């Protein structure tokens, strides 16, 4: 079904009662290494492109860096206790490539492997399934300096080596391994708009990078299959673009915007081709392919990770029409529009017949304040509740969803926004690293407990 026919207003009447999820549904929260670990120069970790990006004046809005972040490297055991308190059955985290292989090739860093050993064992002892991602944007700086990072086709084989080593060491203890997190962000925000590290601005380069990322996904899946029986997949982000007005120009523009984001990644991974309309649009900016690339990208997968925060709004009018925003906008300026999640999940199911999906990220930033030991974040509770209903509606319409990971467990380093944007279920006071469960954490904890009760009863 073309996505623009699914444009429908949010029901104002999202019920107060809980949606019922299957007994085996996984309840989780997500983080990423670069955003929480800190210990940037400890335990043999090499620098990443984000360490370097933070040092460039003007790149990070609050001028902050990732040296300490949430100090999770030292506080992981406490953080697992917070997950246990929430009642999480699953936790999504990412491995820091420069912590495991400081140069991005060659020697492995045993102290880095030991850290993740401890983390994984602590999770398992707490009854929490570890779901890992190999690449959540922290490229070893040495690979950027040495070969140009993802611009070089050599990055593909190096990433596959790294993936194989992680699978060999940890595969038997991981509930899933995802290759990339949101390759669109690495390619487009990192190499076309310059908003993210390494901060380049070239569409041709971004598209070549996207191809190398996709190829490295396929190569990593192949390499990991040899090492492990763990479920393997990829995490893709979607901001479904909606036409601002019911006019052909806006529909066409929205269709192209969808092609440059969702279809550019979903098509090669699941159908083995790049979308023809997007290739035509890109012209000379289209990536260079070699024989066999597309077959290599399309590997059988065990799950698909879906990250969803908001919808996009495409207007060809000048000045562009703003989004209507019935349910409001959050601290990132992102509209709350849960119906787009229902429509997305149903559409992905029908058009791509993917393996079971996880909602690997969903959440909102709010200008939270810790007042007398409490963070009253009612808008986050509303967001969470509405999106859980949206997932349940998609499942009732046939989408197979196996779990939900709220982004994020903790307030953390929000990339170019620094520490100014708070997405966590737990508030982090960066002055003393104290974690405080927000009202939303209490709500999620109660919700998970009720789901468990209903599943038992
Ligand atoms: C996603 C990223 C994640 C986090 C959220 C808010 O794009 O995967 O690291 O920053 O956005």
Give residue-wise pLDDT tens across range 269-321. 999 999 999 999 999 999 999 999 999 999 999 999 999 999 999 999 999 99
CATH number of the structural domain 3-456: 3.20.20.80
What is the C-alpha separation between 166 and 177, in angstroms, rounded?
A: 9
Does the C-beta of 362 come closer than 6 Å to ligand 1?
no
Does the C-beta of 415 come closer than 6 Å to ligand 1?
yes
Does the C-beta of 138 come closer than 6 Å to ligand 1?
no
Residue 292 Cα, ligand 1 centroid: separation in angstroms?
32
Residue 187 Cα, ligand 1 centroid: separation in angstroms?
14
Residue 32 Cα, ligand 1 centroid: separation in angstroms?
9
Q: What angle is formed at CA 349 by the lines to CA 346 and CA 350, rounded to 5 degrees?
A: 85
pLDDT at 8 over 80: no
- Which residues are paired to 130 by β-bridges? 91
Q: What is the pLDDT of residues 83-101, one digit of tens each?
A: 999 999 999 999 999 999 9
pLDDT of residue 179: 99
pLDDT of residue 11: 52
pLDDT at 256 over 70: yes
pLDDT-derived band at 7 (thresholds 50, 70, 90) equals: very low
pLDDT of residue 173: 98
Q: What is the pLDDT of residues 63-87, one digit of tens each?
A: 999 999 999 999 999 999 999 999 9
Residue 176 Cα, ligand 1 centroid: separation in angstroms?
19
pLDDT-derived band at 247 (thresholds 50, 70, 90) equals: very high
Do the beta carbons of residue 186 and residue 196 sit within 8 Å? yes
Does the C-beta of 411 come closer than 6 Å to ligand 1?
no
Least confident stretch, 22-31, 48-57, 320-329, 364-373: 320-329
For the segment 389-406, the average pLDDT, to the nearest whole number, is 98
Shortest-distance atom of ligand 1 to CA 185: 7
Beta-carbon contacts of residue 238 (< 8 Å; ≥ 6 apart): 261, 262, 306, 307, 308, 344
Shortest-distance atom of ligand 1 to CA 32: 9
Q: What is the pLDDT of residues 116-165, one digit of tens each?
A: 999 999 999 999 999 999 999 999 999 999 999 999 999 999 999 999 99
Phi-psi region of 162 (alpha: psi -120 to 50; beta: other; left: phi over 0): alpha
- Which residues are paired to 410 by β-bridges? 426
Residue 312 Cα, ligand 1 centroid: separation in angstroms?
16
pLDDT-derived band at 12 (thresholds 50, 70, 90) equals: low
187-to-86, 151, 199, 448 alpha-carbon distances in Å: 35, 9, 10, 36
Q: What is the DSSP letter of 284?
A: G
Shortest-distance atom of ligand 1 to CA 237: 7
How big is the chain, counted in residues? 457
pLDDT of residue 107: 98
Does the C-beta of 237 come closer than 6 Å to ligand 1?
yes
Residue whose pair of structure tokens reads 């007398």 in the numeric block: 372
pLDDT > 70: what percent of the chain?
97
Ligand 1 binding pocket mutation candidate from 189, 307, 333 (most atoms within 8 A of CB): 307
pLDDT of residue 322: 86
- Residues with active-site annotation: 182, 361
Does the C-beta of 135 come closer than 6 Å to ligand 1?
no
Does the C-beta of 182 come closer than 6 Å to ligand 1?
yes
Sign of CA dihedral 187, 188, 191, 192: positive
pLDDT-derived band at 9 (thresholds 50, 70, 90) equals: very low
Q: Where are the domains of the chain?
A: 3-456
pLDDT of residue 324: 87
Shortest-distance atom of ligand 1 to CA 365: 6
pLDDT at 5 over 70: no
Residue 408 Cα, ligand 1 centroid: separation in angstroms?
9
Q: What is the pLDDT of residues 156-197, one digit of tens each?
A: 999 999 999 999 999 999 999 999 999 999 999 999 999 999
Residue ID of nearest Cα to ligand 1 atom 9: 32
Does the C-beta of 414 come closer than 6 Å to ligand 1?
yes
């Amino acid at each position: 079904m073309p996505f623009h026919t699914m444009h429908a207003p949010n029901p104002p009447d999202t019920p107060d009662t809980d949606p019922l999820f299957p007994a085996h549904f996984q309840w989780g929260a997500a983080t990423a290494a670069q955003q929480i670990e800190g210990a940037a120069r400890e335990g043999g970790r090499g620098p990443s492109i984000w360490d370097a990006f933070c040092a460039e004046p003007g790149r990070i809005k609050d001028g902050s860096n990732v040296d300490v972040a949430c100090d999770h490297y030292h506080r992981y055991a406490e953080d697992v206790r917070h997950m246990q308190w929430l009642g999480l059955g699953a936790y999504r985290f990412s491995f820091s490539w420069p912590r495991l292989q400081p140069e991005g090739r060659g020697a492995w860093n045993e102290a880095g492997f030991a850290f993740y050993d401890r983390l994984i064992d602590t999770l398992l002892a707490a009854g929490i399934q570890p779901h890992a991602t190999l690449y959540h944007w922290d490229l070893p700086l040495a690979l950027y300096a040495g070969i140009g990072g993802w611009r070089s086709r050599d990055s593909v084989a190096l990433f596959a080596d790294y993936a194989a080593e992680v699978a060999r060491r940890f595969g038997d203890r991981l509930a899933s391994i995802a290759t990339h997190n949101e390759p669109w962000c690495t390619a487009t925000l990192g190499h076309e708009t310059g908003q993210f590290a390494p901060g380049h601005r070239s569409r041709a380069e971004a598209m070549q990078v996207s191809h190398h990322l996709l190829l490295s996904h396929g190569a990593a899946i192949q390499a990991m299959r040899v090492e492990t029986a763990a479920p393997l997949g990829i995490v893709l982000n979607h901001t479904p673009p909606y036409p601002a007005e019911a006019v052909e120009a806006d529909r066409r523009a929205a269709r192209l915007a969808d092609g440059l984001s969702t279809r550019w990644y979903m098509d090669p991974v699941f159908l083995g081709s790049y979308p023809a309309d997007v290739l035509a649009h890109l012209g000379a900016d289209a990536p260079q392919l070699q024989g066999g690339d597309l077959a290599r990208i399309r590997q059988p997968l065990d799950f698909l990770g879906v990250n969803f925060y908001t919808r996009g709004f495409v207007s060809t009018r000048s000045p562009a029409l703003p989004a209507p925003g019935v349910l409001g906008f959050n601290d990132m300026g992102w509209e709350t529009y849960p119906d787009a999640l229902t429509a997305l999940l149903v559409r992905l199911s029908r058009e791509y017949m993917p393996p079971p999906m996880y909602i690997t990220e969903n959440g909102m930033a709010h200008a939270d304040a810790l007042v007398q030991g409490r963070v009253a974040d009612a808008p986050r509770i509303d967001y969470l509740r509405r999106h859980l209903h949206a997932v349940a509606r998609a499942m009732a319409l046939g989408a197979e969803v196996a779990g939900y990971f709220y982004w994020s467990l903790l307030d953390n380093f929000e990339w170019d926004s620094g520490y100014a944007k708070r997405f966590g279920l737990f508030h982090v006071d960066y002055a003393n690293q104290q974690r405080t469960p927000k009202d939303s954490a209490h709500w999620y904890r109660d919700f998970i407990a009720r789901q468990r009760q209903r599943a038992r009863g």
